[in-house]
Amino acid sequence: MIKQAAKEYAPLDLEKRVREFWRRTKAYEKTRKLRESGKDYYFVDGPPYTTAAIHLGNALNKTIKDVVVRWRRMQGLNLRDQPGFDMHGLPIEVQVEKSLGITNKREIEDLGIEKFVSTCREFSLDLLGKMTEVFRELGVWMDWDNPYMTIKNSFIEAGWWTLKKAHEKGLLTKNVRSLQWCTRCETALAEAEVEYTDETDPSIYVKFPIKDRTGESLLIWTTTPWTLPANLAVAVHPEFPYVKVELAGDAAVWVLEENAARIMDEADATGRIVDRMAGADMVGWAYEHPLAAKVPYHASVQAPKAHTVLASTAVTNEYTGLVHTAPGHGPEDFELMSGASTLQRRAPTRVATSARRTSRSSTISRTRAPCSTAARSCTATVTAGGVTRRSSSASRNNGSSASAP
């Protein structure tokens, strides 16, 4: 028979009574034992970092897991419900460094490696106890007396054993990639350790003089001018038509045909189209780095295909259609440069071939008022205005790392 609902509801008191009932009757232990003959069900708990008190995300995470575990037990399954805690690595070290007033790695050596490690261990174990108590109070049924801890040798050795088995089966490969890097912590950062903020940078046009083509330059447009010292290539779309625009003083720039008029307008310049070709025909062109005099590395760089035009179908028909590529500032650029040795020159598209057979020249002139900023010239590095980019910084350590968006 359904009882009359209480006139007053005191959730905190009710929670305490329920937890006490579970403890007194050993409800969790008896429930596990009753399912021992059931089909095994392996539950793996993704571990929270023991860096601070639990937050709402941890509470939601464990609550959802608790619901799933209870549901599976109601189905008669025998669950392995070991919880886990991530207790080593950069997040823990950073918190301990803050508590000790440490600002760089040299100070850790001055303190003593063993003392620093033991302090990190004590810090983690203390928070593990506090977090466990809160999870218990949330009513989460897991094997809290036997959690796995990443600082224990048993866990570490299991990781090495797994890696060894992967190696024996030929599942490991060695390669290189572009990663976020924290200069303060002197280590690579995971994506979860990077936060973004909006900053305003100038977007600019830059000329890259083409070797063996006197007076001709590739005109690129970039929203990340701070990555230009790391430039190693310029990318074009192999099927887009590009044009050579002749400017005053025998100078000429190569840009995407469909945007040539707008670019000349922004530069407050008049030009004349004197040649057309597909991006595929430009692949392999070599150029001089515009900052070679200030960045000596570029005078002797040995990277395959460095300072040449590469083909990429990821290039869009925006602005000049020639993309400044800095492999040290992002995975996309790095992957393009890494595959450069396999890129081949492609036959020009039918549109581009037809364009080259046209003998007449086209004149491009400014047809509308110049931009509100100061007039700019295509014969030098040109500022095109302000754009908003995303600047990255390490969320756990206040360090910073840069990556082209």
pLDDT values of the chain reduced to their tens digit, one per residue, 405 residues: 677 776 778 888 888 999 999 999 999 999 999 999 999 999 989 999 998 899 999 999 999 999 999 999 999 999 999 999 999 888 889 889 999 999 888 899 999 999 999 999 999 999 999 999 999 999 999 999 999 999 999 999 999 999 999 999 999 998 887 888 888 888 888 777 777 888 887 888 999 999 988 889 999 998 888 899 999 999 999 999 999 988 877 789 999 888 888 888 888 888 888 899 999 999 999 999 999 888 888 888 877 788 999 998 888 888 999 999 998 888 888 888 887 543 333 333 323 322 322 223 334 433 322 222 222 222 223 333 333 333 444 333 333 333 333
Instruction: Assess whether 18 and 159 both reside in one domain.
Output: yes
Are 114 and 47 in a shared domain? yes
What pLDDT was estimated at residue 268? Answer: 80
pLDDT of residue 390: 37
Instruction: Report if residue 305 sits inside a domain.
Output: yes
Total structural domains within the chain: 2
> What's 300's domain CATH number?
3.90.740.10
* CA proximity to 390, closest of 193, 192, 198: 198
- Is residue 135, in this structure, part of any structural domain at all? yes
d(CA 149, CA 156): 9
Tell me the whole-structure pTM to 2 decimals. 0.60
Q: Quickly tell me which residue has 């232990």 as its tokens.
A: 29
Give helix 113-137 / helix 11-25 axis angle, nearest 10°: 100
Angle at CA of residue 62, ends 58 and 68, nearest 5°: 150
C-alpha 222/C-alpha 384 separation (Å) is: 9
Together in a domain, 215 and 154: no
Strand partners of residue 80: 42
Work out whether the CA dihedral 260, 261, 265, 269 comes out positive or negative. positive
Percentages of the chain per state (helix, strand, coil), in multiples of 5: 40, 25, 40
| 16 and 111 together in one domain | yes
Contact by Cβ (8 Å): 330, 230: no
Buried b (16+ CB within 10 A) or exposed e, 23-43: eeeeeeeeebeebeeeeebee
Q: What CATH code is carried by the domain that includes residue 118?
A: 3.40.50.620
Instruction: Give the pLDDT score at 140.
Output: 95
- Partner residues linked to 263 by β-bridges: none
Kindly state whether residues 382 and 249 are assigned to the same domain.
Answer: yes
Q: Which two tokens stand for residue 308?
A: 């040449």
205 with 315, same domain? yes
Residue 354 and residue 253 in one domain: yes
Long-range (24+ apart) CB contacts under 8 A made by 120-126 are 120/88, 120/92, 120/93, 120/96, 121/87, 121/151, 123/50, 123/92, 123/95, 123/96, 123/99, 124/50, 124/85, 124/87, 124/88, 124/92, 124/151, 125/50, 125/87
- CA gap 255, 269 in Å, rounded: 14
Whether residues 331 and 235 share a domain: the answer is yes
Phi and psi, residue 140, nearest 5°: -75, 125
On whether residue 116 sits in a domain, the answer given is yes
In a domain, 237, yes or no: yes
Q: Is residue 402 part of a domain?
A: no
Domain shared by 117 and 264, yes or no: no
Domain membership of residue 382 (yes or no) is yes
- Residues present in the chain in total: 405
- Can you tell me the distance from the alpha carbon of 275 to that of 353, in angstroms, rounded to the nearest whole number? 11
Same domain, 212 and 131: no
Same domain, 74 and 145: yes
Q: Is the residue at 236 inside a domain?
A: yes
Going by C-beta distance under 8 Å and a sequence separation of 6 or more, which residues neighbour residue 322?
Answer: 218, 219, 220, 221, 234, 235, 236, 242, 254, 255, 256, 315
Sign of the dihedral through C-alpha 221, 224, 229, 231: negative
User: Do residues 219 and 322 make contact, with C-beta atoms less than 8 angstroms apart?
Assistant: yes
Structural domain that includes position 345: 199-367+374-389
Identify whether the C-beta of residue 65 lies closer than 8 Å to the C-beta of residue 21.
Answer: no
- C-alpha 229: how far from chain center: 21
Judge whether 84 lies within some domain: yes
Same domain, 130 and 62: yes
Q: What amino acid occupies position 89?
A: G
What radius of gyration do the chain's Cα atoms show?
Answer: 31
